[in-house]
Amino acid sequence: MTRTAQRAGDRPEPPEPLPHPVVDNHCHLDIGAHDGPGEPVPVLDALARSAAVGVPRIVQIGCDLPGARWAVETAREHPAIVAGVALHPNEAPRLDADGRLDAAWAEIAELATDPRVRAVGETGLDNFRTGADGREAQVRSFRRHIELAHELDKTLVIHDRDAHAEVLEVLDEVGPPPRWVMHCFSGDAAFAERCLERGAHLSFAGTVTFKNAEPLREALRVTPLDRILVETDAPFLTPEPWRGRPNASYLIPTTVRAMATTRGTDLLELCRAIEANTDRAFGGAWGA
């Protein structure tokens, strides 16, 4: 059985629709498209399912060259989708070891000029899957992506895994661009405030629903309403009660409802804020 067939068979039932549309600002519809067996999630199917519950728009993130190409092509074909392109922090050391990092980065820089690309990302640092031997390549790649976001006036989307202090150190050295997003925010309230001071939008994923995520919920509580975004990181980070099963944009309402409860914010007010915040963070509205 292919990975795609397993995902389709495990698909949770759709949640109740949201009272106002929001945007999934970080999704990987292409998982399986270029890495072994399987096919990408059918885009029209994914869009129909998510739109039916109040998630009509998606930011498709490409994390390597095949994924970045796919993201741009898909965004060109579907008005409800815009793209982000970059070399993932764990991709940079692998390419550097083969002597291919500079060439790969040059292609990312060219892809990023496409008008359907709204973001440079996800880039950043990852101390979980990459050890000290890959750190220099990660930092070098991260710096170049920050510079590209400045050069093209694109939104910077940051991946940060077990690297809070290092991410801000590099960001401070280069200077944050006018629009930047902490993808799948994973810090506590104190780290949230450090990011917010630098102008970040904080994007919360299904992890905010996990039982062991109280520090993350505290971070959500201290985040101003006009800096909050929501994402899936699909097919990963599925919210409770479906944790461990494949994620998709149509499950965003479960995460948004949990966020509203955590903050004590009216659901409609939160949805309206998320939609406006996403448009502002990614350089304006898009769609059919």
Q: Which residues contact 239 (CB under 8 A, 6 or more apart)?
A: 205, 206, 208, 209, 247, 251, 254, 255, 258
Is 26 annotated as contributing to ligand binding? yes
Cis peptide before 239 (omega within 30 of 0): no
Q: Determine the distance from the C-alpha atom of residue 195 to the mean position of all C-alpha atoms in its chain, rounded to a whole number.
A: 16
Is 159 annotated as contributing to ligand binding? yes
Give phi and psi for 20, each to the nearest 5. -155, 145
- What residues pair up with 123 in beta bridges, in sequence order? 158
How far apart, in whole angstroms, are the C-alpha atoms of residue 37 and residue 53? 30
Is 20 annotated as contributing to ligand binding? no
Q: Which amino acid belongs to residue 47?
A: L
Contact 86, 68 (CB under 8 A): yes
- 3-class secondary structure, 128: coil
Is 145 annotated as contributing to ligand binding? no
Is 269 annotated as contributing to ligand binding? no
Is 77 annotated as contributing to ligand binding? no
Question: In Å, what is the CA distance from 256 to each residue of 134, 143, 270?
Answer: 36, 32, 8
Write the DSSP symbol of residue 139.
H
Q: Which residues are annotated as a binding site for a divalent metal cation?
A: 26, 28, 122, 159, 183, 233
